[in-house]
Amino acid sequence: MNVANLPKVSADAHVNEPHDLWYTRLPEDMRDAAPHRIEAEGDGGWRLIVNGEVEQSGSGLTSAETRAAKAAMTEEDLRREAAASVDIRLDMMRVDGIHAEMVYPTIGLYVYGISEPRVGVASCRVYNDWIHEKLGGDCPRIRWAALIPAWDVESAVAEVRRVALWKGIGGLMLPLVGTPSWNQAQWEPLWSAIAETGLPVVMHQGTGHSMIFFRGWGSPTANLLATQAQAPNTAALLSCGGVFERHRNLHVVLVEVNAGWLPWTMTTLDDYFVAHGARERKPYLPELPSHYLRRQLHATFQTDPIGIAGRDVTGVECLMWGNDYPHQEGTYPHSHAVLERILAGVDEDEAGQITGLNALRVFGFDAGVLASLPS
């Protein structure tokens, strides 16, 4: 199989937003709570730093050092702003040999950690307006996700209706972990509003919960694994909670969570569903949980041979590859070599579904993008 001949749509790519995006666009009384940058802590945790921290007392910086730090930040943010352009995205696709991409935020993923609802709602709107300005909808090879606030149903539905008709939008982002959980009845108006748009829900790993599960030796790696472990929980709530049964055209894409957990989740949920007589309880589900996951749930990965090996259980429609550009764990600029390795022995038709056709369909790309690579 020649990977160069496969359709390749990255189901997971990112922009690096300017650090001061929210600080400059939010009302002054919200700026201290605005997302700023992500910083690793020494004991295995992560924290979100807000704008203005460099100026807080006890920072240890002199006035001259503070000014220098702010000047350096400004230059970096200008570069980040320039990189979030259609031309740069197309150049990436040319280098990596892919046809199209679905784009998510980076710092913006952390808006769901904001504690004050009005700041969270405003921060989602700031990102959505910015990404709409930068990427628009004129390039058929680029689709992007809008951040949907998840602090209350009313503001979530309002933002869905505000952004859903924007040209270029490929998905509506919600946190992987909902508060309250996504199977609760209060979210029903949101699922209905999203289903009406025909757009998929996208949920990225590490959203809606603390990134710190463990501290101490080995905790950075263990914490990253724990963030992905939220994916089977969400899959169970959406399938067993009847969300997929009630909204049969609703698709949910779990982003950057890998897919090796899917066969285990499907078989385990089915076994428990039958053993405990769940069909006789509310909500009534005429099918096994695995049926809904195969039909309406998708998971993205960069390099996950276990997820690919489990396709006899899961099928291939739930599998989506992404290069995770420009993050360090991504496959750019060597995606062809990675795909050659992880797809060895896979039927070419199945491989094409995984590398591009599933994403093309779910995110609403025009099939014409597969005719050639960006010129």
Taking the model in full, what pTM does it have?
0.92
Give the pLDDT score at 77.
Answer: 74
Report the topology of domain 13-371.
TIM Barrel (3.20.20)
Give the helix/strand (H/E) hosting 70.
helix 63-83
pLDDT score of 53 more than 50: no
Taking CA atoms, 195 is separated from 102, 157, 253, 283, 303, in Å, by 19, 11, 14, 19, 31
Q: How far apart are CA 363 and CA 198, in angstroms?
A: 10
Tell me which range, 13-22, 56-65, 274-283, is most confidently predicted by mean pLDDT.
13-22
Give the pLDDT score at 277.
Answer: 82
110-123: average pLDDT: 92
- Mean of pLDDT over the chain: 90
Q: How far apart are CA 288 and CA 268, in angstroms?
A: 11
Q: Which amino acid is at 249?
A: N
13-29: average pLDDT: 90
Note whether 320 and 253 are within 8 A (CB).
Answer: yes
Tens-place pLDDT, residues 193-203 = 999 999 999 99
| Confidence grade of residue 162 (pLDDT, cut at 50, 70, 90) | very high
| Confidence grade of residue 54 (pLDDT, cut at 50, 70, 90) | very low
Q: What totals of helices (H) and strands (E) does the chain contain, helices first?
A: 16, 10
Give the pLDDT score at 356.
Answer: 98
Q: Is 25 exposed, middle or buried (0-12, 13-18, 19+ CB in 10 A)?
A: middle
Q: Hey, where are the domains in the chain?
A: 13-371
Tens-place pLDDT, residues 309-319 = 999 999 999 99
Q: How far apart are CA 245 and CA 13, in angstroms?
A: 30
User: Are β-strands 297-301 and 252-255 bridged in parallel, bridged antiparallel, or unpaired?
Assistant: parallel
198-218: average pLDDT: 94
258-267: average pLDDT: 98
DSSP states along 324-365 = -TTSTTS-TT-HHHHHHHHTTT--HHHHHIIIIIHHHHHHT-
Tens-place pLDDT, residues 325-352 = 999 889 999 999 999 999 999 999 999 9
Print burial letters for 295-330: b (CB count within 10 Å at least 16), e (below 16): ebbbbbbbbbeebbebbeebbbbbbbbbbbbbeeeb
Give the pLDDT score at 281.
Answer: 75
Give the pLDDT score at 274.
Answer: 93
- Kindly give, in sequence order, each residue whose CB lies less than 8 Å from that of residue 129, ignoring residues fewer than 6 positions away: 25
Note whether 355 and 7 are within 8 A (CB).
Answer: yes
